[in-house]
Structure 1
Amino acid sequence: MMEVPSFTLTRQMKEMEKELSAAIQQVMESGQFILGDIVKTFEEQMADYTHSRFAIGVGNGSDALYLALRAADIGAGDEVLTTPFTFFATAGSILRTGAKPVFTDIQVDTFNMDPEQARTRITPRTRAVLPVHLFGLMADVEALRQNFDGIIIEDAAQAIGATMRGKPAGSVGDLAAFSFFPTKNLGALGDGGLVTTQREEWANAVRALRAHGARKKYYHEVVGINSRLDALQAAILSVKLPYLDRWTQKRQHIAKRYSDGLHTLGLEAVHIPVVPEGFTHVFHQYTIRVENRDRLQAFLKSQGIGTTVYYPLALHLQPALRDLGYHLGDFPISEQVQNEVLSLPMFPELTDSEVDYVIEMIGHFYGKRVG
C-alpha cells in the first residue's frame, strides 16, 4: 500500500531550505520586521505579477477581503452578491463591514458563480459583487460585468496565476483579495494576504485601514484594524514567487494525468473538473464530484490516500448565518455539490506514480481496472 498525503509542505521545504533560511537571516539582520523595504519589494513584485497598478500586503486573506470592501466604502445598508459555496471568510468579511451578503447559486461544472443567476439577484441595494475564483479557476467576471456596473471584488485567494481570456486573477475586478496561507499555491510560513487594485485612492485607503486608519503615524482618519504583512513572510514569499509558474505547470500536469486516467476508466459516477475555453486553471485543488462520496473517501483513506471535502456545508446553511433567512432548497446546485465534492491529493511535488495509484484505487472502488 502506498501512502499519498492530501497535501504536504515537507517536500517543498526540503528543496528550498537554504534559500528560505537565507531570506529569514536577511530580515533578522535588517532589524525591520513590520512593513519596510522587504514588504514594499514584495508588493511591487505582486503588482507586476497580477498586472495591477497597486498591491498592498495585509495580515491574511480574510483581512484582504474585508479591507478591499472597506476601501470601496461598503458598509451598513449595502448588499454584496456572492456565492454560498466557498470558505466562510467570504461571507464573514462582508458581515464585518456591516453589509449584507446576498447569495446566488453556482454552475455545477465550474463551482463558480453563475452569471445568469447572479443577474436575477441584483437589486438597487447591490453595491458590489464578490465572485470567488474557486479551486484555482476564475469566475467569469466579464459576464458578470455585462449585467452589473457597480464594484466587483475578486476573491482570488485560491487562484493566483489563473487567467481569464489572457487576464490574470487580481486584474479584472476593481479590487482583489489574495491569501498566502501556507497551503495556497503561493504560501507563506504563516498568515499573509494582499489586496490589488488599479485605483490609487483605494490603494491608499487599504494602506491606511491596515494601520488603524492612519495615513500619518498617530493621526487616525478612520477606524481601521491592525493587519500588516510582516517582513519575514514577505521575504519568504519573494523567494517563492519566482517558482510559482513552474509549480503551476506541475499542478496542471498532475491535473491532466488525473483527468486522462479517470476518463479512461469511463466512470459515469465520477465528474472531473471542467476548464472553460479561454480560461487557465491553476488547480489549487483537483476536485471531482462523485456518487457515494463519503464511502469513496473512507475507502481511499483505508488505502493510504488522503482526501479533503471542500466544502461540506454551503454558507446559507451555516448556523452562524441563519439570521440571513435562507433555507434548505434555496440554492440547489450548491446543496448538491456539497454532498459530492472530493478533493484528491494535489501539490507540485506529487509524483506520477502517486497520481496513478490514486486513479487505480478510485477505479478499484467502482469495480474498474486501469489499463
Structure 2
Amino acid sequence: MAMPILAIIFTMLTFMSVLTRSNKPVSFYWSTIVIELFVPESTADEVREATERVIASGQYARGEEVQLFESELGQLINKDYVIATSCGSTALHASVRVMDWGAGDRILTSPYSFIATSNALIQEDCQPVFGRTGMNLQLDLHHAYELISKDSTIRGIVIPHIFGHEVDVEALGAIRKDYPDIGIIEDAAQALETADSGLGFGVIGDITTYSFHENKVITTAGEGGAIATDDPVLAERLRSLTQHGKIESSRWLDEINAGFNYRLSEIQAAVGRQQLQRIRSILDQRRSLAHALAEGLAESELLLPNDAYRSWFGFYLIAADTEQASYLAASLRESDVQSRVRPMPALQDFAHNRGFQTEDAQISELASRVLMLPLHTRLDQGQIDTITHSIVDAMHNRQSGRVISSSEFYDQMAHSYDQELVERSAYIDAVDDHVVAELSSLEAGSTVIDIGAGNGRRTADINQQIEATVEALDNSRGMLAYAAERGLTTYLVSISEADEVPASMHEAYDAATSLWNVLGHIPNEERMQALQNIRHILKPDGRFILDVNNLFNAEQYGAENAAANRARVKSLEGSRNAGDFTASRVYDGATVKTTTHIFHTAEIHQDLEAAGFVVEKIEYVNYETGEPADESSGQILVIARKPAGKASNES
C-alpha cells in the first residue's frame, strides 16, 4: 500500500515541478503574456531531485532537510538561530506573539507593506500605528524616532524591507540605543541577502522574518518562511510556538503552552536548499537585471528605485499619476509584458485598518502610482529591451500627442459625442428600449446607476422614460461635465479600481445598467474588480442590466481588422482572453490604443457568477427588432441579479 501512495505523491509533485517553469511559463488560463511579472526561482530539475531525495529518506516532516535548511540559511545570513515556518505570514505572527505585545499595545509600522504585516499585529490584538514613508516607499525611521520620543505608549516597531530596500541602520541604531525597551521586528519577506553583502538586513532587529513564496528571491516549493534571531530565549520560544507549544524538556507536559503548527515540510526545505546552493549567483543575476532595467529607463523621466542599497526582490517605478501608471501598464500589455499597477495598496486603506492612527496621508495616492515590472532570473537581455523600449516609446508617444490614454481620449471627444450618438441613434434607441423595459417594474423613487454613462445623453433619455432616478457614473471628467449639464447626478469613479467607489454608494441602488463594451476595455482582473464593485453598490436583490455589442467593438475599434475580429466570436467557446485585440482610433490627429475584448456568452455568464451575481437571462438578440438572434449578430442582452442574501463584503 505504501508504494502506490508514494507513487501518487511523486506524480503530484512532479506535476507541481512543471509549474516551476524551467523554460517557458505554464498557465491554467489562455494568455498571450510572454514576459511574466514573476517566475519561481526553482527549476523543474531541482524540484524533482529534492522530491526524490525526500521520498528515498521516507521522512516527510521534521527531518534532516528542515534542519539543514535552517543551518545553511543561518550561515548565509549570519544568524545563530533560524526556525523554518510554513510561510512568511506565520513567521510574522509567531514573532509578534513572542515579543509579548498584546491587547491594546501600540506598535509602529509602515503604511506601505503587504497586508500580512498589519494582520500579524491585529491577530494579537495590537494596535498598528502607521508611520510616515518617503518616495523610496520605506518607513521613515527618523520620523519614527520622533514619534517614539513623544509617545511612550508605543511598545515596538515592525519594519518591512519593501522591494528589498535596506533599512536606515543609523536611524534604527539610534532607536535601539535610546529606547532599548522598544522591541524590533524586521520584516524581510521581500529582502534576502548574504551577510557578507554588507547590507543592513537583520543587523539590529530582535527578530528578522523571511518569506519563500513563489514570487520571492528563492522559493520553498510555493510557500514557506523563516524566523532568524541571535537571542537564545526568543529562539526557544519561537521553536516551541511553531510546533504546537512543545518544548525540549522532561517536564514538557507540565510546561507546554498553546502553539501552532507553523512547520515547513521536508520537501519544501529540500527545494529551498537547492536554491541556497546557488544563492550568490541568483542575487548577482537579479542585481544585474535590475541595473539593466534602470539603465534602459534612465531617459524616461520616471521615478526609478535607487539601485545602490537593496536586495532585488522586485523592480518598480513611480509614475506621475495613476492614469500614467495605467497607461504604461496597457502599453506593456500590448508588448505581451505583465506588470502590476499598485501592487500593494496602502495598509490604512483596508477596511479593518481604517480606525488606526496614520501619520502619512499621502501614501494612498503614492501607492496608486507604483508600477511593478518583471524581475526574475529567467529574463534575458532581449526581454529587458522589450520592457524598457515599450515604456520609453509609450512615454514618447504620450508626450508627443500621437498616442493618448483611453480616459484622455474620451475627455477630448466629449464635445462631439452627441453627434456620434445621433449617427448611431437607431442602435442607441433600440438598446434603451430594452433597458427601459427591464426597469419599468421598479417602484417610484427607486435609484438606478448607469455605469460608463458617457456624456449623459443616453442616461438622460432613460431617466425621462421611467419613474426611477437614473444617475451617471464614468471615469471621464469631460464626459461627466456634459452629463451634469443635463441635470444628472454624476460620479467620477473608476469602477475597476478596488478602493475608488465611495462608501456612500454602498448598497445604494435598486438597479445598475451598463454597456458591457465599457468593461471590455479593461483586463480580466480589473473587469472582475469592476463586477464586484457593481455588486457592492446594488441593494440586495438589485438588478444588473447590460448589453454587449461585439460587432460594435470589432467594427468601430478595430475597423482595419473587422472581419477577423468578428470571426473571433465563433471561435471563443468561453475561453478567457481569446477575444482580446488591440484597437486604435484617431481623433483630432491623436491615436488612442486600447485593449478591446470580443465576448462569448459563456464567458460573460462565468464572470458574472464568479462576481457573485445570479444570471437570469443571457441571449443573443437583434436590438432593432427585439427578436432572438444567432452569434453572428454579436448583440447580447444580459439580466443578472444580486442575491437577496448576499452580503456586499462577500466575494
TM-score (norm 2): 0.52
Counterpart amino acid of residue 221 in structure 2: L
Are positions 1:23 and 2:54 aligned together? Answer: no
Q: How many residues are treated as equivalent by the alignment? A: 355
Q: Structure 1 unaligned segments of length 5 or more: list them.
A: none
**8 Å contact from structure 1 (residues 67, 209) kept in 2:** yes
Q: Kindly tell me: are residues 52 and 61 of structure 1, through their superposed partners in 2, closer, same or farther at Cα, counting changes over 3 Å?
A: same
Structure number with higher relative contact order (C-alpha < 8 Å, ≥ 6 residues apart): 1
Corresponding residue number in structure 2 for 1:142: 170
Q: Describe the superposition over 1:311-342 as per-residue Cα deviations: whole angstroms up to 9, x where unpaired.
A: 3521111112123265xxx5134223212111
Mapping for residues 181-260 of structure 1, pairs under 5 Å: 181-216=213-248, 221-260=256-295
2:534 alignment counterpart: none
> Deviations for 1:63-91, whole angstroms, at most 9, x for unmatched residues?
10111111221222322110010100000
2:83–2:239 Cα contact (<8 Å) kept:
yes
**Inter-CA distance 165–31: structure 2 relative to 1 (3 Å threshold):** closer
CA distance in 1, matches of 2:276, 2:350: 35
Q: Supply the distance in 2 between the matched residues of 1:171 and 1:41 (Cα, whole angstroms).
A: 23
Which amino acid letter does the alignment assign opposite residue 369 of structure 2? Answer: E
Equivalent in 44, 56, 79 of residue 83 of structure 2: 56
Identify the residue that residue 132 of structure 1 maps to in structure 2: 160
> Which moved further from structure 2: 345-354 or 117-126?
117-126
- Taking structure 1 as reference, are residues 297 and 51 closer, same or farther at Cα in structure 2, changes over 3 Å only? same
Counterpart contact for 2:84–2:225, Cα < 8 Å: yes
Partner of 2:141: 115
Name the SS of the counterpart of 2:185 in structure 1.
strand
Distance 2:199 2:392 in 1: 37
List alignment gaps of at least 5 residues for structure 2.
Answer: 1-31, 399-651
Task: Give the aligned residue type for 1:117.
Answer: H
- Compare 166-175 and 132-141 and name the one that shifted more: 166-175
Task: Tell me, yes or no, if the aligned pair for 2:81 and 2:232 is still in contact at 8 Å.
Answer: yes
User: What is the identity percentage for the equivalent residue pairs of Structure 1 and Structure 2?
Assistant: 27
Q: Which whole-Å CA distance do the structure 1 matches of 2:79 and 2:160 have between them? A: 18
The DSSP-based 3-state class of the residue aligned with 2:137 is coil
Does residue 353 (structure 1) correspond to residue 353 (structure 2)? The answer is: no
Deviation at 1:354, TM superposition (A): 0.6
Shift of 1:211: 1.4
| Paired residues for 1:31-46 under 5 Å | 31-46=58-73
Does structure 2 retain, via aligned residues, the 8 Å contact 1:107–1:333?
Answer: no
Q: Residues 192 and 354 from structure 1, CA distance in 2 versus in 1: closer, same or farther, beyond 3 angstroms?
A: same
- Does structure 2 retain, via aligned residues, the 8 Å contact 1:138–1:163? no
Residue 8 of structure 1 and its aligned partner are, at CA, apart by 2.3
Q: Which one of 165, 177, 202 corresponds to residue 170 of structure 1?
A: 202
Query: How far apart, CA to CA, are the structure 1 residues paired with 2:162 and 2:357?
Result: 25
8 Å CA contact 2:66, 2:265 repeated in 1: yes
What's the CA shift string for 1:243-290, capped at 9, x where partnerless? 221111111111111111111x2x33x1111145xx3x2211101001
Name the structure 2 match of 1:362.
391
Per-residue CA distance 1:286-316 (angstroms, 9 max, x = gap)? 0100121111112211221110235352111
- Among residues 20, 35, 49, which one is paired with 1:4 in the alignment? 35
| CA root-mean-square deviation | 2.2
1:106 aligns with 2:133: yes
CA displacement at 1:167 relative to structure 2: 4.7
Q: Deviations over 1:126-174 (max 9, x none)?
A: 2211111111112214312313432211000010117798255234311
Cα offset, 1:179, TM superposition? 0.6
Q: Shift in Å at residue 6 of structure 1?
A: 1.5
Q: CA deviation at 1:2?
A: 8.8
